[in-house]
Structure 1
Amino acid sequence: MSRKKRHWLWNILIVLTLIACVFAFILHYKNWHKVEEGRLKILSGIYYQNIPLTEMDSIQWVDKIPELERSNGFSWMEKEKGVFKDSLTQTKVYVFVDDLRQQKIRLVHNDSLKMFINFKDSLQTQSLFNFIDAGLQEKLEKIK
């Protein structure tokens, strides 16, 4: 029995596909965030938010995310990421949740846009909450 040799192009295509899958997994594995120049930047795979700290209206802790319809994104085990639609108000909700079992930050900006975020590490989530909350308190004191 003679075996037919596979064309080299198929081998390269298989390797490139595997590399792309690993790269996509690494990008979606966790939420990447940074605060610079007065803006909160959050990246998780193809989902990205760039929010000026001055446009944040409220921040609070929530245990559960309300009932949402997925526009695009994914839910897998304890992770949930993407753009969802609030089933009551029909508004966009951005979700960057690494662990559904932990508390999440509910952030409202531009008067009505909501975002839920947490990290695998609860201390990192707490640190982000404290930073944003301090900024909002400072903003309120300037208004008074």
Structure 2
Amino acid sequence: MANKKRHWLWNLILLITLTVCLLAFIVHYKNWTKIEPNSIKMVSGVYYKEIKFVDVDSVSMVQRIPAMERLNGFSALSKGNGLYREFKDSLTDKKVYVFVDNFEQQKIRLVYQDSLKLFFNYKDSVETIELFSLFESKLNALKKQN
């Protein structure tokens, strides 16, 4: 029986495919946040949002996000990320970012730049509450300055 070798190109394609799949999983695995002195940056997969603390109008905890139309993004098990749109009426066509790691837990509802909304949470509810407290303290500090 002849021993037939696979062409090196197929091995390279297989290695590149596995690497890309692994990187896509790592990027979508959780919501990545970076808190800076003046802003917060949120990344999940291809979705990126930077919000300056001075632009935040209100912050609250909600049990459920409202019904919205998903423009693009994904939902899997208890996780959902993407760009959504509030149900369109004649006056508004607002886009809403959603970075939710666990639909079962409370979410932070952030209103910024007068009417834009963002919903997010972490898998760990303690982390979510800590971030909510940070937002409240930053918002209170900014109100005292004005």
Residue matched to 2:95: 92
2:69 pairs with 1:69: yes
Cα-to-partner distance string for 1:63-122 (whole Å, 9 max, x where unaligned): 111111111110011000011111144310000000000000000111111100100111
Residue matched to 1:8: 8
Shift of 1:3: 7.2
| Partner SS for 1:93 | strand
Aligned mates of 1:134, 1:104 — CA distance in 2: 18
Aligned mates of 1:101, 1:19 — CA distance in 2: 32
Shift of 1:8: 1.6
Residue matched to 2:123: 120
Stretches of structure 1 that go unaligned for 5 or more consecutive residues are none
Aligned mates of 2:140, 2:39 — CA distance in 1: 16
My pick for the range that moved more, 15-24 or 100-109, is 15-24
Aligned mates of 2:33, 2:112 — CA distance in 1: 17
Residue matched to 2:31: 31
Residue matched to 1:47: 47
Candidates 100, 104, 108, aligned match of 1:105: 108
Shift of 1:4: 5.5
My pick for the range that moved more, 82-91 or 15-24, is 82-91
Shift of 1:5: 4.1
Aligned mates of 1:2, 1:47 — CA distance in 2: 51
Normalised by the length of structure 2, the TM-score is 0.91
**Matched residues, number:** 143
Aligned mates of 1:81, 1:64 — CA distance in 2: 15
Aligned mates of 1:67, 1:92 — CA distance in 2: 13
Percent identity, please. Answer: 48
Instruction: Tell me the amino acid that sits aligned with residue 133 of structure 1.
Output: E
Instruction: Tell me the amino acid that sits aligned with residue 15 of structure 2.
Output: V
Candidates 119, 131, 135, aligned match of 2:138: 135
Residue matched to 1:59: 59
Aligned mates of 1:100, 1:117 — CA distance in 2: 9
Aligned mates of 1:8, 1:112 — CA distance in 2: 55
Stretches of structure 2 that go unaligned for 5 or more consecutive residues are none
Structure 1 segments (4+ residues) deviating >3 Å:
1-6
